[in-house]
Structures are given as C-alpha cells and as structure tokens.
Amino acid sequence: MLCQALFARHSLVLTELARAYPVPSQRKTAKPKHGLLHRVKRLWRFLHNRRPDQAGLMLRLTRLSCSVCRSPGLLLPVLVDLTYFEPFAVLSANVPRNGRALPIAWRTFRRDLQGEPELSQNLIIEGLLSQMLERIAPAIQTVIVADREFAAARFFRFLKGLGTRFVIRVDAETWIHHPRYNGALGAMGLRPGGRRVWLEGAFYAKEEREPVNLLAVWAAGQREPWFIASNLADPQLIERLYRKRMKIEHGYRDWKHHLRLKGTLKVQSAGQLAGLLLGVVVLYWYVCLLGQRLKGAHWAGEVRSWGPLGDFKRGLELLRLSPPGLERACQRLVQWVAEKLFGLAPLPPLYKWRYRRYRCLQLCG
C-alpha cells in the first residue's frame, strides 16, 4: 500500500500518503469526522513497526541484481553515493542497468549524526559496505565505484582489507608520488582530448602514501579531467566502470523529479525516513523491471515521446496510462521475480510442519 500511495500522491508527507490508503467499505460511523486520522495512524504504525525485514529485502534485491546486471563475466560494479533530504542523508549502493542504478543496500542517518550509534560518517559507510559484500557470492568480483566524496587513503585500505576492487575518483589537489610524476594531479598539464596518463604503483597522498594505480584522463567534451584511483590493472576497464557512475545520479533524479519527491519530506527521525525509503526502493525496482520487460513495438506505441525512453520512464508512463494487457504483464513480472528468488522463499512455520503428516493421511484416504 505504501508503494501504491507513493505512486499516486508523489509525496513523502504522511498525510498525503494516507489519503491514498483504502477506506473500509463498512464503517461504524457513516461519515466520520476524522476519517483521515485513522489512515495516518495506520501509516504511522507501519513506519514504526520493526517486523518488516529490511535486511531480508536487501538480500533478495542483491540476488536479483545478478539477473539484471549485464556486466561481463562475474564482474559486478556497485555504485556508491550519498544524496540528501535535509537534515537527513541517504547512503546507497546500487547496480547499473540500462542507464539506471538499482539499489541493493541503503542507510538513512542524520547529517549531524545525532542519535546515531556510529561516531563518524566513515563508520556508517564501512558498515554498510561490509554487510552488502557479505550478501554477494564469493565467486562474484565486486568493484566499488564512487566519486570524490569517498576518496581517502583510509577508505582504500579498508576496501583492500576486504579483498574488494575499487574505482574511485580523487581530487585534482591530491598529491601523488611516482617515478614519472611527483606533485598535485591538477598540475599534470592535461588537455581536453589529449593523451591518457597511466601511473601504476603510485602513492596516494603526501603523508599516508597509500599505493594505488592511477588513471588521468580528460576526454573531449568533459568540463574537467578525471583522476581515478583503483587497484585494477586495466586502465580501459577503469575508465569504462567509472562512466557507469553517472547512472546513480540519474536514479536520484528519478526519485526527486520523476516521482516528484523533492521537497516533500516532513519526518522527524531517520527511522521514519528509512520506512518511507523502503517503499521508494521497492517501487523503483518494480517500475524499472516493468519497463525493462515491456520493450516491444506494441508497448512502445502506447507511449509517446520525443526520443527513446529508458526502462524507468517507460515503465512509469505505462503504469500511468494502464493500456490493455498491462495487468497480465505485471503478473508475469511478479512470477519472474518469484522464480529468481525461489531459493530464498521462507520456510513454513513449525506448527504447520507438525501437522503435515495428518494432511498427507487425509489426501491418501
């Protein structure tokens, strides 16, 4: 119901979402004076309910990401970034798919860390990534892709300690030590469309001197050069993986503009935001997967656009228009997801196993 309310009301305000909640067909009072109040209480109880298994949902989305990500071989790029709904921050890890980034792990917290068990934002980031990597099969090679906000020698050492690959952009003011170059990266003298500089085994930072491989590139059409630190040995793969990072920006734009959630948040705690974000993530996955599966000419004719549509925009427009046959397509999507996650289906309760033999006897009789 929360996902349906988010889609219908385009808001994170609790009273607006509650207006989309269903009204009982039979009421004790025909015209209650405070009919909306009871629906707000229902939503409020859900946001404060500890029974929804957020870790279980992240596990299922992580398993599902291996079916939708098209990276070659067993390489799984994970795009990590922060976005802000003042005074809160949302840290998310995402997998790229057709120009969008699908969340597989996330964490909400106050920017001033008030009420948080961690003493720094670095500990929050490290905790989220540690839990996420535990949910990924060891045979899959995970590559953390992030922007300059995550560039730090401590973070590089943390990822190396986990045995994880990384591709992270660093600032132009960063000092590098290498036999071929020693100084700030911004003073390297790159030009737009010029040659790429590959420094293998460089030392990052003036004092900490963390060994990394560094790629410096200023492609034609870019506003500024890229300086990318990594522990991968292929510079072409490093550049290709970092270009995927823009997909997470598109995902945040979908949340804030296409779903019209920007400027609508009015909650008092990070826990309430986490409950709302749970619905946003499920809705976003559903719309993207629906748009991914409905690519045929029949569905393209139902949506008018000036150019080719991405998966999210196509799925969103089809849900708004609700053409004939969409309900059946949605049912097939749910069946496909259930088949992919069959191994994670919960077991029946113990009390049902207790009486299972009696049901077998009844069937035999």
83: three-class secondary structure by DSSP: strand
State CA 155 to chain mean position distance.
20
Q: Same structural domain for residues 14 and 88? A: no
pLDDT value of position 157: 92
Residue 362, pLDDT above cutoff 50: no
Q: Same structural domain for residues 103 and 183? A: yes
Residue 365, pLDDT above cutoff 70: no
CATH number, domain with residue 159: 3.90.350.10
Within-domain flag for 205: yes
Mean pLDDT of 131-150: 88
Q: Same structural domain for residues 162 and 124? A: yes
Within-domain flag for 116: yes
Q: What Rg, from alpha-carbon coordinates, does the chain have?
A: 24
Q: How many residues does the chain have?
A: 365
pLDDT value of position 364: 43
177: three-class secondary structure by DSSP: strand
Q: Same structural domain for residues 102 and 196? A: yes
Residue 293: is it exposed, middle or buried by C-beta count within 10 angstroms (0-12/13-18/19+)?
A: middle
Q: Same structural domain for residues 158 and 84? A: yes
Q: Same structural domain for residues 77 and 40? A: no
Within-domain flag for 63: yes
107: three-class secondary structure by DSSP: strand
Question: Cα angle at 229 between 176 and 158, to 5 degrees?
Answer: 105
Round the average pLDDT of the chain to a whole number and report it: 81
pLDDT digits (tens, 9 = 90+) for 176-199: 898 888 888 888 888 887 788 888
Within-domain flag for 279: no
The two tokens of residue 218 are 């200023």
pLDDT value of position 89: 87
pLDDT value of position 144: 93
- Helices (DSSP H) in the chain: which residue ranges? 2-9, 14-19, 35-47, 54-68, 121-134, 153-161, 235-243, 246-253, 270-293, 297-300, 311-321, 326-340, 350-354, 356-364
216: three-class secondary structure by DSSP: strand
pLDDT value of position 327: 87
Q: Same structural domain for residues 183 and 144? A: yes
**Residue carrying structure tokens 């994970």:** 78
Confidence band, pLDDT 50/70/90 cuts, at residue 317? confident
Domain that holds residue 13: 1-24+33-48
Q: Give the number of other CB atoms < 10 A from CB of residue 145.
A: 29
Residue 114: is it exposed, middle or buried by C-beta count within 10 angstroms (0-12/13-18/19+)?
A: exposed
pLDDT value of position 344: 66
Of 250, 281, 311, the residue at which a domain comes to its end is 250
Q: Same structural domain for residues 207 and 124? A: yes
pLDDT digits (tens, 9 = 90+) for 236-285: 999 989 988 887 777 777 777 767 777 677 777 788 788 888 888 888 88
Confidence band, pLDDT 50/70/90 cuts, at residue 126? very high
- Tell me how far apart the alpha carbons of residues 131 and 104 are, in angstroms, rounded to a whole number: 11
- The residue with greater pLDDT, 150 or 9, is 150
Half-sphere exposure at residue 223, Cβ-oriented, CA atoms within 13 angstroms: 0
pLDDT value of position 155: 92
Q: Same structural domain for residues 111 and 223? A: yes
Q: Same structural domain for residues 73 and 171? A: yes
- Tell me how far apart the alpha carbons of residues 42 and 38 are, in angstroms, rounded to a whole number: 6
Within-domain flag for 230: yes
- Tell me how far apart the alpha carbons of residues 45 and 64 are, in angstroms, rounded to a whole number: 29
The two tokens of residue 4 are 């349906």
Residues near 93 by beta carbon (within 8 Å), at least 6 away in sequence: 78, 79, 80, 103, 104, 105, 106, 128, 129, 132
Within-domain flag for 340: no
pLDDT digits (tens, 9 = 90+) for 61-104: 888 887 776 665 578 889 998 888 888 888 999 988 877 788 89
Strand (E) or helix (H) holding 192:
none
Domain count for the chain, please give it.
2
Within-domain flag for 134: yes
Q: Same structural domain for residues 63 and 11? A: no
Q: Same structural domain for residues 111 and 211? A: yes
Of 250, 278, 294, the residue at which a domain comes to its end is 250
pLDDT value of position 165: 92
Confidence band, pLDDT 50/70/90 cuts, at residue 112? confident
Mean pLDDT of 39-43: 79
* pTM (predicted TM-score): 0.82
Within-domain flag for 89: yes
